[in-house]
Structure 1
Amino acid sequence: MFTQKDLKRHVRIHTGGKPFKCEVCDKVFNRTEHVKEHMRSHTGEKPFKCEVCHKMFSRTGHLKQHMKIHTGEKAFKCEICGKLFVQKGQLKEHMRIHIEEKPFKCAVCDKLFSRTGYLKQHMRIHTGEKPFKCELCDEMFNHNGSLKMHMSNHTGVKPFKCEVCDKMFTRKGDLKRHTMIHTGEKPFKCEVCGKMFNHSGVLKQHMSIHTGEKPFKCEVCGKIFSRTGHLKQHMKIHTGEKPFKCEMCEVF
C-alpha cells in the first residue's frame, strides 16, 4: 500500500511521466531528488566521500559502486564465460569480446577496437609516443607489457617452460612458437606456392623468394641479401672470421 504522495510518484513508473526539469540543460526527471542529484553535474559538487581513499563523489550510487574496489565484491557476472566484474561498465566492455563489437575506430588507419584503452595504446604506433622507460638502460616503449618483457633481458628470468624438452623462455609467445617444433604445427601458409611455416617471420623471409626483395645491405661492399643470416655469413669475407674448424687436423 502507498500514501497518496508515494502512489502518485509510483504511477510515473508506468506512465513515463517526468514533470521535473533541469533549468540548465532541460533534461527531465520523474523525481525531484533525481533533479537535485543531476544538478551536481553542472555545479561540480561532490558531497559523498570514500572513507578508505577519500575520493569524492556526486552521488551515493557512485560511492557505493566505488566501494566494491576496496571490498573486492564482484557483483556483475558474464553469462557467457562466468567471469566476474566489480563494475557494470567493466562487464559491458568485456561483452564486446563475445559479440565482437568494436565501436572505437583509429582515425589514421581505420582499425577498430573494442575498448578506448586499446585504441589509445594503438595510437602510439602512429604518434611514436613511448611513455614507458626502462630504469636500467633507458630504452623507451609504447606499451607497459613490452617494457615488462624487456626487463627479462636484464633479470634473466624465464618463467615459461616447454613441457616437452624443458627449454625456458622469457615470453609466452616465444614458448608457443617453440612448441610448434614438437607438434609439427605450421599455421602460416605462403599464398603463392602453398608452403607452410611455423613462424610468421619465417614466412616473411620466404616471401622474398617470390618478390625478389633484398632489404639487407652490406655496408662494406654494397651487396644486398634477402635474409639477415645470409648477410651475416657474407660479412665473414670482410672480417676474415673462420669459425669452422676441422676436427681431424685443426685447420680453419
Structure 2
Amino acid sequence: MAEKQFRCEVCGKAFLKSSGLIIHQRIHTGEKPFSCDICEAAFTSSSKLLRHHRIHTGEKPFICEICNKSFLQSSDLRVHHRTHTGEKPFTCEVCDESFTQSSTLRVHQRIHTGEKPFKCKVCDKSFSDSSALRRHRRIHTGEKPFRCEVCDKSFLQSFDLRVHLRTHTGERPFTCEVCDESFTQSSSLNVHKRTHTGERPFTCKVCDKSFSWSSTLRLHRRTHTGERPYTCEVCDESFLWSSTLRIHQRIHTGEKPFKCEVCEKSFAQSSNLLVHQRTHTGERPFTCEVCEESFSRASTLRVHQQIHTGKKPFQCQVCDKSFARLSNLHVHQRTHTGEKPFTCEVCDESFTQSSNLRVHQRVHTGEKPFQCEVCNKSFSRAEKLSKHLILRIHKGKKPFTCDVCDKSFSTVMEPLHTPTCHTGEEQFKCEVSDKIFTKFFKVPVQIVHTEETVEMWKA
C-alpha cells in the first residue's frame, strides 16, 4: 500500500495526493471556491459542486440493477444495495448492533456516550445528529416543506409525507405473518406483533407498569408527575395529550367534523359518531358475561357489570357516599359545594345537572315528550308519566297483559304473573336503583329511571 506522505499540519490527517490535502485544508480555512450558478451554494471541491448540480437537473445517474431505483451519488447506491443484501458492515463495539452506514453508527454511538453536539440556537435543546436538529428548527420557523400533491397537507419530514401518501393510495406494505393484518408503517407492524407475543418492553420505573409503546410510557409518566403540557389558549384548561386538547378546543369553536350519513347529526369526536351509528344499525357489541345483556358502549358495559359485583369505586371525600359512576359522584359533590353550573338562558335559573336544565326548559317551550299509550295524555317529565301510570285507572281498558297466563290489568304497575311469579320466587332487584321488591312490576326502566330520577332512587 502506497504511503500517505501529504499530511495536514492542523489535524495530522494524511493523504496520498497533494490535491487531496489541498481540498481537505479548506475545512480548516472555510474556503469554498466552487459556487453553484443557480442557487449560489458554495463547495470545497468541484466534485461536490457536480453532485449538487444534479439537485437542479433532477439527474440520478446511479441505478440499482435489482429495483431500478436511482440515486444522485454512487455512495448512495452502494448503501442502498445493502437493503437487498442485508449487509450491515458497521458494528457498535458496545452493544453489537450493526448498521448499513458508518454515519448511522456514529450517531448511534452517541446513545452510549450521551453526546449531543448539535444545539438549537433558539431554545438550547441539543441533538445527537444534525438532521434531527434541522427537523427541530422547523418547529420554531413553522416550515413544513413536504407537501402532499393530492390534498395539499404539509409535513415537517419527508418520511411523514411518504406515510401520509399511503392514505390516498391505500398501500399497506407491512404485513403481519401471524394474522395477515397490514400496516402503513413498519413501526406500527412491530408494535402490532407484540399483541401476539405479549411483549411490553417499556416499563415505568415508578410503578413497574409495562407498555407496548414508548410513547404510551411517556404519557403514563405524566400521571405520576402531574404534568399536563397542552393548555387551551381560551380557558387555560390543561391536558395530558395534544389530541385531547384538539377535541376540547371544539367546545369553543363549535366544530363538529364527524357527520352521520343516515341522519346528518354531527359530532366533535369520531368515537362518538361510531357509537351513534349503532342507534341506526342496532349493533350492541359489548356483552355482559354474567347476564348476556348487550350494550353499544364498552363504558356502559363496565358500569353495568358493577350491578353484579356491587362495586362502587367512586367515593365522596366529604360524606363517604360511594357511586358506581364517576359522573354520579361529580353530580353528588355539587350538593356539598352548592355549584349549579347549568343555567337557563330564558330565566337564569340554575341547576346541578344538564338533564334537569333540559327538563326545565320545557316550561318555556311547552314541550311534553312523554305520552301515555292508553289515553294519549302528554307530560313534560318522565316521572309525571310514571305517576300517571301508577295512579290513574283507565276505565274499561286493560291494556297490560301477563306474559304467562294472559291476565289483563288496567295500569302498568299492576303486579304481573311473570314466570318467576308462577315459580314462587319473591325477590326482584332493580338494576338501576338496587331496590328489592316482593312483586315484579313490569315498568320500563327508561320510564322510572331517567337521568333526573336516578339520584332520587339511589338516595
Asked whether the two chains share a fold, i.e. TM above 0.5, the reply is: yes
C-alpha separation in 1, matches of 2:183 and 2:330: 46
- 2:252 maps to 1:105: no
Which residue pairs with 2:391 in the alignment?
A: 236
Structure whose alpha-carbon radius of gyration is higher: 2
C-alpha separation in 2, matches of 1:82 and 1:136: 41
Which residue pairs with 1:188 in the alignment?
A: 342
1:165/1:131 CA distance change after superposition, 3 Å: same
Which residue pairs with 2:332 in the alignment?
A: 178
Which residue pairs with 1:70 in the alignment?
A: 200
Point out where structure 2 has 5 or more consecutive residues left out of the alignment: 1-12, 14-46, 87-161, 163-169, 204-212, 231-240, 251-255, 394-410, 414-459
Counterpart secondary structure, 2:228: coil
Confirm or deny: 8 A CA contact 1:158 1:170 kept in the other structure: yes
Q: Partner amino acid for 1:201?
A: S
1:34/1:214 CA distance change after superposition, 3 Å: farther
Which residue pairs with 1:137 in the alignment?
A: 291
- 2:357 maps to 1:210: no
C-alpha separation in 1, matches of 2:301 and 2:202: 28
Which residue pairs with 1:155 in the alignment?
A: 309
**Residue 107 (structure 1) shift:** 4.7
Confirm or deny: 8 A CA contact 1:186 1:198 kept in the other structure: yes
- 2:321 maps to 1:167: yes
Q: Partner amino acid for 2:242?
A: M
Confirm or deny: 8 A CA contact 1:188 1:200 kept in the other structure: yes
Counterpart secondary structure, 2:200: helix
Confirm or deny: 8 A CA contact 2:343 2:351 kept in the other structure: yes
Confirm or deny: 8 A CA contact 1:49 1:56 kept in the other structure: no
C-alpha separation in 2, matches of 1:163 and 1:130: 35
Counterpart secondary structure, 1:81: coil
Q: Give runs of aligned pairs for residues 44-63 of structure 1, distance below 5 A.
A: none
CA deviations 1:89-138 (Å, max 9, x no partner) are: xxxxx42223458896335334343xx65654453344332111123333
- 2:252 maps to 1:96: no
C-alpha separation in 1, matches of 2:384 and 2:345: 24
Q: Partner amino acid for 2:322?
A: M
**Residue 180 (structure 1) shift:** 0.9
Confirm or deny: 8 A CA contact 2:371 2:378 kept in the other structure: yes
**Residue 175 (structure 1) shift:** 0.6
**Residue 143 (structure 1) shift:** 1.4
Q: Partner amino acid for 2:202?
A: G
User: Which of the pair has the greater relative contact order for Cα pairs under 8 Å at 6+ separation?
Assistant: 1
C-alpha separation in 1, matches of 2:384 and 2:347: 22
CA deviations 1:58-102 (Å, max 9, x no partner) are: 99766766688521256444697369xxxxxxxxxx422234588
C-alpha separation in 1, matches of 2:299 and 2:378: 35
CA deviations 1:181-230 (Å, max 9, x no partner) are: 11111111112211111111111111121111222233444332211222
Confirm or deny: 8 A CA contact 1:106 1:119 kept in the other structure: yes
**Residue 179 (structure 1) shift:** 0.9
C-alpha separation in 2, matches of 1:42 and 1:218: 56
**Residue 172 (structure 1) shift:** 0.3
1:67/1:225 CA distance change after superposition, 3 Å: closer
Point out where structure 1 has 5 or more consecutive residues left out of the alignment: 2-6, 84-93, 242-252
Counterpart secondary structure, 1:174: helix
Give the 4+ runs in structure 1 shifted more than 4 A.
Answer: 15-23, 26-31, 33-38, 41-46, 55-69, 77-80, 99-104, 116-119
C-alpha separation in 1, matches of 2:361 and 2:286: 34
Confirm or deny: 8 A CA contact 2:259 2:267 kept in the other structure: yes
C-alpha separation in 1, matches of 2:308 and 2:243: 37
C-alpha separation in 2, matches of 1:232 and 1:56: 53
Counterpart secondary structure, 1:70: coil
Q: Partner amino acid for 1:227?
A: R
Counterpart secondary structure, 2:340: coil
Confirm or deny: 8 A CA contact 1:49 1:63 kept in the other structure: no
1:184/1:67 CA distance change after superposition, 3 Å: same
RMSD: 4.9
- 2:300 maps to 1:146: yes
Which residue pairs with 2:376 in the alignment?
A: 222
Q: Partner amino acid for 1:155?
A: T
**Residue 236 (structure 1) shift:** 1.8
1:18/1:197 CA distance change after superposition, 3 Å: farther
Alignment equivalent of 1:123, drawn from 266, 269, 277: 277
C-alpha separation in 2, matches of 1:168 and 1:203: 25
**Residue 231 (structure 1) shift:** 2.4
Confirm or deny: 8 A CA contact 1:208 1:214 kept in the other structure: yes
Confirm or deny: 8 A CA contact 2:172 2:184 kept in the other structure: no
